[in-house]
Chains A and B, each alone.
Chain A
Amino acid sequence: MSASLFLALLLFMAIPGFALGWVQSRRLRADAVAGAKKGHHSRPIYHGLYTALRTIRPGIVLFLSWVILAPWLLDTILVHAHPELLPTTDARELSLWLSRTADPGRMAASILEADPGLKAAIDHRQDYSQGLLLFLTLLALSLGLVALRRAVARIAPDFRARIHIEHSVMTFLKVSSTFSVLVTLGILFSLLWEALRFFQLVSPWEFFFGLQWSPQIALRSDQVGASGLFGSVPLFAGTFLVTGISMLVAGPIGLMSAIYLSEFATPRVRTWAKPMLEILAGIPTVVYGFFAVLVTGPFLVRFGSVVGLDVASESAMAAGLVMGIMIIPLVSSLADDVIRAVPQNLREGSLALGATQAETIVRVVLPSALPGIAGAFLLAISRAVGETMIVVMASGMAANLTANPFEATTTITVQIVSLLVGDQEFDSSKTLAAFALGLALFAVTLLLNVIALRIVRKYREAYE
Chain B
Amino acid sequence: MRHTIPKIMLDRVSLPESAAVADSDAVPESETKMQAAGVRVTYGEKVALSGISMEIPARKVTALIGASGCGKSTFLRCLNRMNDIIEGCRVTGQITLDGQDVQDPDLDVAMLRSRVGMVFQKPNPFPKSIFENVAYGPRIHGLFDHKEDLERIVLTSLERAGLLNEVKDRLDEPGTSLSGGQQQRLCIARTIAVNPEVILMDEPCSALDPIATARIEDLIDELKSNYTIIIVTHSMQQAARVSQFSGFFHLGELVEFDSTEAIFTNPSDTRTKNYVTGRFG
Contacts and interface: CB of A to CB of B under 8 A. Distances in A.
A and B: interacting chains = yes
Interface of A: 267, 343, 345-356, 359, 363-364, 367-368
Interface string B118-151: 1010101111100000001100110000000000
**Central interface residue in A345, A347, A355, A356, by most chain B CB within 10 Å:** A355
A353 B127 contact: no
A353 B124 contact: no
Contact of A267 (B85, B87, B113): B87
B85 A348 contact: yes
B110 A349 contact: no
B194 interface: yes
Given A351-B82, A353-B114, A363 B120 contact: no
Contacts of A364: 126, 136
A288 B211 CA distance: 63
Contact of A349 (B109, B126, B141, B194): B126
B128 A348 contact: no
A273 B272 CA distance: 51
B60 to A, nearest CB: 21
Contacts of A349: 120, 124-126, 187, 190
A252 to B, nearest CB: 23
Nearest to B139: A363
**Central interface residue in A349, A350, A354, by most chain B CB within 10 Å:** A354
B240 to A, nearest CB: 27
Given A346-B127, A352-B80, A354-B110, 4 more contacts: A345-B124, A348-B120, A349-B125, A355-B140
* Across the A-B interface, the 8 shortest Cβ-Cβ residue pairs: A354-B114, A352-B118, A354-B113, A345-B124, A349-B124, A354-B110, A353-B137, A355-B140
Interface in B233-265: none
B191 interface: yes
A339 B82 CA distance: 20
A84 to B, nearest CB: 78
B140 A359 contact: yes
A346 B124 contact: yes
22 contacts: A345-B124, A346-B127, A347-B85, A348-B82, A348-B120, A349-B124, A349-B125, A349-B190, A350-B136, A352-B113, A352-B118, A353-B113, A353-B136, A353-B140, A354-B112, A354-B140, A355-B137, A355-B140, A364-B126, A367-B126, A368-B126, A368-B127
B47 interface: no
B71 interface: no
Contacts of A352: 80, 82, 113, 117-118, 120, 191
A350 B126 contact: yes
Contacts of A350: 126, 136
Contacts of B37: none
B204 to A, nearest CB: 13
Nearest to B85: A351
A368 B87 CA distance: 23
A353 B194 contact: yes
**Central interface residue in A343, A347, A348, by most chain B CB within 10 Å:** A348
Contacts of A353: 113-114, 117, 136-137, 140, 190-191, 194
